[in-house]
Amino acid sequence: MTSAPNREYRKGNWTIQETLTLITAKRLDDERRAKPSTSSPSKPGELRWKWIENYCWDHGCFRSQNQCNDKWDNLLRDYKKVRQYQSSHSQSQSSHPFLSYWSMERHQRKLHNLPTNMSPEVFEALNDVLQRKLNTQQQPHLHQPSFCQSPEQLPLKTDQNPPEIDAPVTVSGTVY
């Protein structure tokens, strides 16, 4: 990856292609960091975002590491809102007909306090990255309890399924 000292970063709204490039960079960074390494076990956030900036730059997305970090945070916030809306309303037993986020007009999304411009492509790409990360985090760690431990002494596994990611969502007729 190239690292030019004097980069001129693009400003303004992100294109869908730039956003998808960022999501790909984040997925690759997650995979890269999940591999065992002989160097330091965890790189500081600043270096990780510099790696993401370099990946994006090499793929035509001329944004700074700070822009990438801010955009990622905003994408996650919007993704969670859409996923929560879809999940809670599609499972509701309400007598009101459910209006999917994906079939709403911009003004309807605004009325429901939802992001107005989340595209299905971006949502699906984010869902893929977050599900991969969740699956990686849930790899069973080998724990061999000794035979003298009582059930009360065994560790409780209460944090295995964070509620933020595991709710099913329907996008373009596909359930995730």
What string of H, E and C letters represents the secondary structure of the chain? CCCCCCCCCCCCCCCHHHHHHHHHHHHHHHHHHHCCCCCCCCCCHHHHHHHHHHHHHHCCCCCCHHHHHHHHHHHHHHHHHHHHHHHHHHCCCCCCCCCCHHHCCHHHHHHCCCCCCCCHHHHHHHHHHHHHHHHHHCCCCCCCCCCCCCHHHCCCCCCCCCCCCCCCCEECCEEC
Residue 120 lies in a domain: yes
Residue 57 lies in a domain: yes
Residue 168 lies in a domain: no
Work out the mean pLDDT of the chain and round it to a whole number: 80
**Quick one: pLDDT at residue 138?**
77
Per residue in 84-130, pLDDT (tens digit) is: 999 987 776 666 778 999 999 999 999 999 999 999 999 999 999 99
**Quick one: pLDDT at residue 46?**
76
pLDDT for residue 49 is more than 90: yes
The pTM for the full model equals 0.71
Residue 84 lies in a domain: yes
Residue 140 lies in a domain: no
**Quick one: pLDDT at residue 160?**
36
Which range marks the domain in which residue 59 is found?
16-91+99-133
Residue 45 lies in a domain: yes
Indicate the number of domains in the chain.
Answer: 1
Residue 163 lies in a domain: no
Residue 126 lies in a domain: yes
